[in-house]
Amino acid sequence: MGERAMFGTGPILEGAFRLVRERPGAVAIWGLVYFLCVAGMMLAMGPFFAAVANQGGAPNPAGLLGMISGIFLLELLLLLVLVVLFAAAFRAVLRPEQSGFGYLRVGMDELRLLGLGLLVGIGSLVAYFVAATVIGVVTGLLAVTAGRGISILVSVVLFVALLAGFLYVQVRLSLAGPLSVYRGRFAIGEAWALTRGRFWAIFLAYAVVFVILMIAQAIVSAVTIAPLLGGIMSQARNPQDPAAAQAATMQMMSQFTTFSPLMIGVTLFGAIVGALWVALNGGAAATAARLLAGGREAEAFE
């Protein structure tokens, strides 16, 4: 049976879940890396948040600048870690013989993925800015010529169309990452060509994974963070006792900036969800890439 008949949402999802089922050791390693990264970020930012708590929640300008710089560097570190993890997920599907330590590498594949992400990200920002400017000019002219009501309606429709267009482009280009790992070169054009006419099959697979992960994250939050935040917020909303509000703020700061049992649990469960996010999203994209690039229904693992 030909590739066109076999490609679809079902085979993509089957390949993604097969990655989790047949490579549990690799997924566990990805979760450990994610856990260590988040824990390191907490340790790095802990002194700043402790200082904020001691100052009553109002950081000085120098401290605020330090916080912003620190957050930027930590987010950059997290981005680099995610690039390595997604490259590992792609490799687990597309190059299963290169198992090693959880398929983790730091080399040209990762560098290509980073460059690809920067290229697509910067291009998306520029395109969004240009499109938003055009929409602003058009709706501004309509406000003068046709009235404010028409202008608002048209602006809403145009922005919805803009977001839909960006979603369409992102899905069409989503296979560029795994294809770049598969081919050993940038594959933006190939990704666009292979996904022609297959938007909905790929989009629905991503949507199913998204819903599953959001449910998992909601369960983790309900079990771990929500009860604590509920108690703290109820104390902080007590207008008759300002000291209680300040104490609630201090309690929240201490819970979220130190390795309390709560935060260890939150970080651990977050790492599990993060590893599944990498495995399922990366596995879905890599499976779709292999099915299409192979020109047939290819097994995710040989």
Does a structural domain hold residue 32?
yes
Does a structural domain hold residue 123?
yes
Which residues of the chain register pLDDT less than 70? 1-5, 45-67, 70, 224-260, 262, 295-302
User: How many domains does the structure of the chain reveal?
Assistant: 1
Closest to 275 measured CA to CA, from 38, 50, 3, 9: 38
Q: What is the SS3 assignment for 30?
A: helix
> What is the pLDDT, as a whole number, of residue 138?
83
What is the C-alpha to C-alpha distance for residues 123 and 39, in angstroms, rounded to an integer?
A: 32
What is the C-alpha to C-alpha distance for residues 165 and 274, in angstroms, rounded to an integer?
A: 27
How many CB atoms within 10 Å of residue 266? Answer: 21
Does a structural domain hold residue 111?
yes
Does a structural domain hold residue 15?
yes
In the block, tokens 């594949």 appear at 109
Does a structural domain hold residue 139?
yes
Tell me which residue range forms the domain holding 46: 3-293
Does a structural domain hold residue 137?
yes
> What is the pLDDT, as a whole number, of residue 248?
56
Does a structural domain hold residue 299?
no
> What is the pLDDT, as a whole number, of residue 299?
42
> What is the pLDDT, as a whole number, of residue 146?
74
- Counting every residue written for the chain, the total comes to 302
Report the Cα 201 to chain-centroid distance in Å. 20
What is the C-alpha to C-alpha distance for residues 294 and 181, in angstroms, rounded to an integer?
A: 14
